[in-house]
Structure formats: structure tokens, C-alpha cells
Amino acid sequence: MPFIPHTESQVQDMLRRLGADSIDDLFGEIPALLQRAAPPEIPAGLGEAGIGRIAKARAGRNHPLLCFAGGGAYEHHIPAAVWDIASRGEFYSNYTPYQAEAAQGSLQLTYEYQTMIAGLTGMDVANASLYDGATAFAEACLMAVRCNRQSGSRRIAVARTVHPAWRAVAGTLLRGQGLKFVEVPLDAGGKADFGPLDRDSGDGFAAIAVAAPNYLGGFPDFGAWRARADKEQALLVVGVNPVALGMLRPPGEWGADIVCGEGQPLGIPMSGGGPYLGLLACKARYLRQMPGRLAGRTVDSAGNTAYALTLQAREQHIRRSRATSNICTNQGLMVTAATLHMALLGGEGLRRVAEACHARTVELVDALTAIGGVRRAWDAPFFHEAVLCLDRPVAPVLAALADQGILGGIDISAEYPELGNALLVCATEMRTARDIQAYASALTGIMRSGAGSGEVRHAA
Amino acid sequence: MPPELIFEKARPGRRAHAQAPAPEAAPPADLPAELIREQDARLPEVSELDVVRHYTRLSKLNFSIDTNSYPLGSCTMKYNPRGCHRLASLPGFLDVHPAAPDSAAQGLLECLYELQEMLARVTGMEAISLAPMAGAQGEFAGVAMFNAYHRAREDYERDEIIVPDAAHGTNPATAAMCGLKVREIATGKDGDIELEALDAALGPRTAGIMLTNPSTLGVFERRILDISKRVHAAGGLLYYDGANLNALLGRVRPGDMGFDAMHLNLHKTFSTPHGGGGPGAGAVGVAASLKPFLPVPLVEKMGGAYRWRSEAPQSIGRLAANGGNIGVLLRAWVYLRMLGREGLRRVSDHAVLNANYLAFRLAEAGFDLAYPSRRAGHEFVVSLKRLRDETGVSAADFAKAMLDEGFHAPTVYFPLLVPECLLIEPTETESPEALDALIDAMVRIRDQALSDPEAVISAPHRMPIRRPDEVLAARKPDLAYGPALES
């Protein structure tokens, strides 16, 4: 009974008070044929030391790889203080702050988080987070349709350069509500090709969505996208990387209406893919259509500053089937970590991280494209990811690199067949010149020897 | 007064110098100037100690399980073992990039596969997907699978979902997200569903029903087998909202009750932390008939190796950018392995013992139980209507006074059908002494309500703030530090 404090005599006393002979009596209303022994397939219980041995052995079977992959999850330095403080029981084990008087710490922190995200994105308001970047994108699209009822359209034009998983999740979540996505393809230079929209004869678009930097590392022509949105009388939804915003002009200054993003780069470990942090911010006039929790500053009955969740009338526990979303939780603990992380870096620190990521990726791309059979997909500015085209299939090359302890990037050939053998590479501030040299020499060997052109040993 | 904001502590030029990388020798020359920020982002300029001290101080303004009892109905605020946190935070788990080849993540995948298998056994479901990142996403997956199932059978008429009036708000919100109409049915006086109301709602348009059992009223739906027969006979499917599984763990399985799909709130039943509102995890389980529709990715075992499988032609699709809230799943895996087969039932045994003891003692002390003739599950409902009528003290007032006593308030005004209600769930990790202290506190508050109602109506008195003005907060939203918004 690992975490049950009752002594046997206490249990007997409690049963006596209840007039019950045994604990089984307390389950007497449940039909007997539904009650059965615990499943024998579950192993016997372990103490902390016992499960610790197993967990450590398994953690040790995950091979550490020198990471040159991004695609929405990035290896950054995380200050020790971030998780030391976020793991305090008062943050780790508290509940959603519905009882504001018992949660002023988390509420003030969330207010600070919202301020930081609003400042970073150049928007008026940010919510207290959604599950991850993909769900934030889906909710941003849904919100845009609600904000733009006058357009009458339930279609959203989405750049093909938006993260494929974000588009997939939006498809899953919004299909049931009759929303349709129309893809804006890539032209030969990796830019958006608006041709299909020009030829489109549908009922217009409620929103158009783009990411900056996009999944392929590049930047959209913001002027063209804003103009397109104006032409369609559509809202402009922009996906972001918060670290990139340390150096890049925020989308609010480009005329974005709604901004969404993956907050993982803000102090959250890669952790196999989650839990991460969905960012969502918007212009003030769209506030009441924004899903998810919001912390607000107000006063208490004595007139002192106080914080509380606000505008809850939009949410499922009040509006039920008429809620803006079925979303119930946010990612509170990740918000705590991200807030600590942003406070520790500050505006200058975040810019330095962004500039270092960019500089290391420039060095990486220069080193790799010097190798025969490796070239850039197009020559356009990038942040900290770029698409390389190989003269052979990518999967076996990545497998050969993994054998040498290197995670060489992401094979995007299947997602983007129009790019051929396409490899998405990334370097963050964590990669050193020596790391980049190690990747380049490993890849040189693989490309020269023809290794990697054989069997796929590691499915991605 | 609350602490200053971190922005108010800032001084121009102050830094946490150890945390940022060295500046680059030259600014990025290859990026067009129009892409670059003119000024650094407006984040606080503070030292590392400023940050550590500020957020440590803020943390102390919170209640948490580690510091206070949380008899918060429907939320299962049990102890979150530190061992789960420590082991899920091993670098070998944290440093795995989601695009790492499966061969480099075998230890992680083995844990996740084992969790899938154990949860299937515990629930009596055929298969589990760990992808949903919260209970509401699990519900979404379940109802989307119902839609997919009916469509795959070329049955296109089923556009209604039946939801009892006591259900969690996420149930009707989820149904609406899936494009279904909600048909609400009444709960009878004894807390069970009215079968006549069910029969009247069932028909060729029924996609399914969403149930919590024990219900949010804390009582077990005794005719569940009859209900599942009727729903299936009408061609509908049954969804189990796993919010209250702590009442049945190791004893009754949703699969045996006839449910076709369900989610588990791993942050409730399996003790992963609430973290101030997430991250949760809402693993979804299904009967064999719905297996092809499970959300991806799934963890598979082939030969001796584990792998992510993302391709499944009939799947409802992807719910998360990656494989779900994996760090949360690892905590649940550690917890489940620590409980073991013999520990499962002890959880529900003691959760139900605690709830019944608390309900009995409170009734003895003069509180009104909403369903006095029924056995409590792991939680129960107290109505303060009589107290409010006599003294003007509402359930909300009572809840605030409990904060002054050092207890987190129970869930208030939910379920919606019991007036002035408190939904109380002690969980199995509270000791009998803690329950006795809770009873004493509630009796003290009740007695004060009778002798000096104003003192309760104006509570709390000993918390960091008095009651916040929520009307002002909503009318003039102040959601970020800086210039006021025009909305």
C-alpha cells in the first residue's frame, strides 16, 4: 500500500463507525458479477528503489544522440533554477486556481507569463496556454472562424510550410465542426504560391494561416500574406517559435490577428515529445472569442491588488455545449517553467540565444553543403533550420548517422515529395563548432562510402 | 498586498549573466533588416537571485497537496509521489528528441508500451492510445471514434449524444465539437438515471451516451448493465468518462460494464501532478470494435523491439504534435508499477472507505447529504441549502471559510442539480486524522454560520487576499502588465 496512511486498527475503527463488517460491504450497491479480482497480468508492486532500478536501466537504453533535429522540438540550455523552482510542491501539486485566494502565486505567475508572451509576440493579450503547438494552431483556426462570422466562410487557407503535425491535428479536431482547410503550396523558391487561391471559386476564407519561421526554417513574405488576408477579408493567423522572437520582429508588428506557437523552447525538456506548451495570443478585439484560461488582475474586497481567473463564461464548465472549446486544462506546470525561463534570460538573453542558434545553423549548413551530394533546397534566409537535398534517399543516411551517435535531422521526403530527398537540419546554441565538425565528417564518410544507400535499419 | 510583479523588480542592465550564451561576434548579416526586432523583447531585467526569490515567494502563496488537504470532488487530489517525478526526470528520458529513431528510444518505448498494456488490463478495454493530452481530448477521441464507427458502417443518421444532467461540462462541449447534438436526460431522485428518460431519448439518431460511473453525484449507477443493453440495442455506443475511476480501481472494469470507449485521467487516478492546471493526460481505451479508429501514434511491439506506429488507415488521426504528454505518462507508469496488482484495489478500498467515513460523520454532525440513502463512492455531495436558508451563508461562503481553516475548498455548485452543494472527495492518501480535522473544521464553520453569519459571509480572513472582485476583472480585463487594453 505504497501511499495509504491507514493503520489496520484505524480501518477497523472506521468500519465499526459505519456499521460495516468489511470494506467489501461498502461496495454492496455494485452488482456482484461486475466485481472481480485485480488483473493478474499486472506485475507485483515495487518500492521506490525497485522501480528506480528498472527506470534507470530503461532510461539508459535510450541512446543519447548529438541532436541536429528540430521540427518543433529543440534542445536548448535550461537554467537549473527553472525546474528546481517549478518542481516545488506548491507549483507541482496545486490545482487549477479556481479558488483564487488559495492560488495567488500561480495566478500572479500566469499574469506575468501572459505579459511576457504578449510582449514577445507583439500582441495585446495571451492566454494561460493550451496543450501544445499543434492544438494551439487548431484552436487559433477555430477562433479565427468565430471572430470572422461576417465572412460567412468556414474555410481556412493554410501554408504548406506550416508544421505537418499541426495541420494534421487541426484536421482531426476541426473536421467535426465542418471547417475546411485549403493548402497554399510552395513555389520553387520555397515561398507561398497563391495561384490556387487566385483560381479558387469557393466562398472565400475566414482566415489564412502561415508560420514564421515556418516548418522548413524560412520566413514568409509578411507583406504579401497580410495583403492576401485583407483581400480575402480574412484574419491572419501566424505560428511562431518563441526563441526566434528573441531576435525577430514580432508578428503583431506585421499585422497578425492571432498568434499561436510551440512553447517547448522556453525551458521545457524534449522529453520524447511532451508535455509541451501551446502559445496563443491575439488582438484585444478578439479576446472574448479566445479559448482557454486567462488570469486577470483585479482588486479584492479590501481594495488591494488581487489576481483571479477571468472571463470564465467562455469555458466548458459554464457554457457546456456552447463553450468556445471543450478545453478544460492548460499546461500550468509548463507555464511555470516557461515564465522562469523567460525571466532568467530577459530580452537580451533571448536575443543572444536566437542569434547563436542562427549563427550555428549557418555554420552547419555551410559545412554540410560543402559535401558532395548535399545542396540547399533553395537559397533563402532561414532562422535555425534549413532544408538540404541529398542525392540519395535520406532515411538510410540518417540511420548511418545514428549509428555514429548523431541525430542528423528529420527526413521530410514523405511529407514534402515535391522537394525530393529532403532533410531538415537544425543547430541550436547548444551545438559547438566541434559538434558541427563531427556531423560534417560523419556525413562526408557516409556520402563517400555509399554507406546509407543500403537497407533502412532505423525507421524514423 | 501581493508581491511586486517581476517587471517591477527589474532594473535596466541587470542580468542573470550565467544563463545566456556569449554574444555573437557580428549581428546576422544574411537576414533582411526588416525581419529583425528593433528593440529587445520586453522581458524583465533581473538577476538569477531575483528570479529564484520572486518565484519561491509566489509559490508560498499557493495551497498544494504537499501543504494542504484538498477534498476537491471529481478532481482526485491524492499525493503525487516524488519518486514518480524523480524517475520520469532522468536525463535518459528527458533528452529524447521526438524525431529520434525508435532504436535510440527503446527504454522509453518499453515503458509506454507497458503502460498501454497495463491500462488495458485495468480497464477491461481491448486497446489503449496514450495520445490524448487531457481528459477533454480523451473524450474528444472517444466521441470522434463513435462517429467514425457509425460512418464506417454506413450509418449516417446518428447525430445525437445522450448526456445525463449531472455530467461534467466537458461532455456536452466535446459532443458539440464533434458535430453532435446533445440530448440531456434527467437523473432520478435516488441518483440513478431515469430509464424512461433514457428510452425516450434512444433511437436511430443515437450515436451514443456519455456516462461517469460512479456519477458526479458520487453514487454508482446500479442499472448500468441494463443501460448498456438498451443503448446497444438501439445501435448506440457507451462512453465512460474516467474521472471517477478511483472509486473502482482494481475492482470493477468499465469494459465489463459494457462501455465501448473511455478515457483515464492519469492526473487523477494515477497520481500525476495537477501542476496548477496541467499538463494532464487522458489516455483513451476502446473495445475491439473501435480499435481501428484509435488516435495515433500507438506504441507497438514487434519481435523484441518497440516502435511508434503512426499509420492506421481508419484512425481518427493525430491529437498532438508528437506522441502525447510523455513525461506525464512516465509518471503514471512509475505509479502503476509501484502499486502493482495488489495495490490497485487498495486505492479504491481506502478512497471509498474515507469518503463513506467522512459522509457518515458529517451527517452525524448535522450536515445534509444529497443522497443519504445511498452508499458513497469515492466522493459525495453535501447540500448547504438549509444552512443558507437559515443564515444566508452560501456554499461559496462556506468554501472560502474552509480556506481559512487550511483546507482547500471542495468543489462547489457542481453537480448543477443539487442546490448549494459541496462535492467532497478525500482520496485514499488522507489519513483518518486528516479527515477528523476536516470534520472539525466544517463543524466550526457551520456553528459560526449559525452564531455570526457575517463572519463566514466575509471569509476568507487569513488568506493572502480577500475575495477578488471578479465582476471588475471581467468588465475591465487587465490581462497583461502595461498599458490598459481597449477591448
A192: DSSP letter: B
Indicate if the alpha-carbon torsion angle A207, A212, A218, A223 is positive or negative. Answer: positive
Task: Give tens-digit pLDDT for A138-181.
Answer: 999 999 999 999 998 999 999 999 999 999 999 999 988 889 99
Q: Which residues of A touch B16 (CB under 8 A)?
A: 79, 344-346, 349
Among B180, B153, B71, B81, smallest CA distance to B409 is for B71
All structural domains of chain B, each given as residue ranges with its CATH number in brackets, are: 6-59 (no CATH), 83-339 (3.40.640.10), 344-471 (3.90.1150.10)
Cross-chain Cβ contact B66/A323 below 8 Å: no
Query: Averaged over A247-258, what is the pLDDT?
Result: 97
Tracing cell 494551439 back to the chain, one arrives at A136
Of B169, B346, B432, the CB nearest to A14: B432
Q: What's the confidence (pLDDT) of residue B486? A: 46
**H or E segment at B239?**
strand B237-241
> Which residues in chain B have Cβ-Cβ distances shorter than 8 Å to A5?
429-431
Q: Return the CA Rg of chain A.
A: 26
- At A119, which amino acid appears? G
* B484 pLDDT more than 60: no
- Amino acid in the structure at residue A211: A
Q: Mean pLDDT across chain B, nearest whole number?
A: 96
pLDDT of residue B462: 97
Q: What is the mean pLDDT of residues A245-269?
A: 97
Please list every residue in chain A whose beta carbon sits closer than 8 Å to the beta carbon of residue B317: 168-169, 171-172
CB within 8 Å: A58 and B486: no
Does A201 touch chain B if contact means CB atoms closer than 8 Å? Answer: no
pLDDT in tens, B20-68: 999 999 888 899 999 999 999 999 999 999 999 999 999 999 999 999 9
Q: Which H or E element spans position B84? A: helix B82-88
| Residue A3 contacts B where some CB pair is shorter than 8 Å | yes
Whether the pLDDT of residue A457 is over 60: the answer is no
Cross-chain residue pair B336–A42, CB shorter than 8 Å:
yes
* Pick from B61, B92, B222: CB nearest A60: B92
**Do residue B277 and residue A293 have CB atoms under 8 angstroms apart?**
yes
Q: What is the pLDDT of residues B424-479, one digit of tens each?
A: 999 999 999 999 999 999 999 999 999 999 999 999 999 999 999 999 999 999 99
Task: Please compute the mean of the pLDDT values over residues A445-453 and round it to a whole number.
Answer: 80
Q: How far is B414 from chain A (nearest CA, A)?
A: 9
The structure's pTM equals: 0.97
Q: Do B360 and A297 touch (CB under 8 A)?
A: no
Nearest CA distance, B319 vs chain A (angstrom): 5
CB pairs under 8 A between A and B: 697
Q: What is the mean pLDDT of residues B142-166?
A: 96
Instruction: Identify the residue with better confidence: B294 or B168.
Output: B294
Of B7, B307, B336, the CB nearest to A115: B7
The answer, yes or no, to whether residue B378 has pLDDT greater than 50, is yes
Q: What is the pLDDT of residues B79-100, one digit of tens each?
A: 999 999 999 999 999 999 999 9
Q: What local confidence, expressed as pLDDT, does residue A249 receive?
A: 96
C-alpha cell at B203: 433511437
Cβ neighbours of residue A121 closer than 8 Å, sequence gap 6 or more: A240, A245, A250, A251, A252, A256, A259, A261, A279, A281
A174 vs B290 pLDDT, higher one: B290
- Of chain B, the end-to-end C-alpha distance in Å amounts to 28
Query: Could you give the C-alpha distances from B209 to A101, B128, B161, in angstroms and in order?
Result: 37, 20, 6
Residues of chain B positioned with their CB less than 8 A from the CB of A28: 375
Q: Which of B15, B34, B48, B96 best probes binding to A when mutated, by most A CB atoms within 10 angstroms?
A: B96
Q: pLDDT per residue over A207-220, tens digit each?
A: 999 999 999 999 99
Q: For residue B61, what is the nearest residue in chain A, using CA coordinates?
A: A105
Distance from C-alpha of B221 to C-alpha of B36, rounded to nearest angstrom: 61
- Mutation target for A interface from B45, B63, B487: give the one with most A CBs within 10 A: B63
Residue A327 neighbours by CB under 8 Å, 6+ apart = A130, A131, A139, A291, A292, A315, A316, B134, B136
Alpha-helix residue ranges (DSSP H) falling in A152-277:
164-174, 195-199, 222-232, 251-254
| Interchain contact A53–B (C-beta under 8 A) | no
pLDDT score recorded for residue B113:
98
Confidence of residue B2 (pLDDT cuts 50, 70, 90): confident
Task: Pick the residue of B67, B345, B374, B479 with the most A CBs within 10 A to test the interface with A by mutation.
Answer: B479
Main-chain phi, psi angles of B125, to 5 degrees: -95, 160
For residue A459, the model assigns a pLDDT of: 38
Q: What's the pLDDT tens digit per position in A378-423?
A: 999 999 999 999 999 999 999 999 999 999 999 999 999 999 999 9
Distance from CA of A451 to the nearest CA of B (A): 18
Read off the pLDDT band of A188 (50, 70, 90): confident
- Residues in B closer than 8 angstroms to A109, CB to CB, are 55, 58
What is the Cα–Cα distance from B134 to B137, expressed in whole angstroms?
5
The three-class DSSP label of residue A432 is coil
Q: Pick the residue of A95, A174, A299, A457 with the most B CBs within 10 A to test the interface with B by mutation.
A: A95
| CATH numbers and ranges of domains, chain A | 66-75+346-449 (3.90.1150.10), 80-341 (3.40.640.10)
Cα separation, A237 vs A181, in Å, equals 13
Q: What percent of chain B has a predicted confidence (pLDDT) above 70?
A: 99
Report H helices in A19-132: 48-60, 80-86, 89-92, 104-121
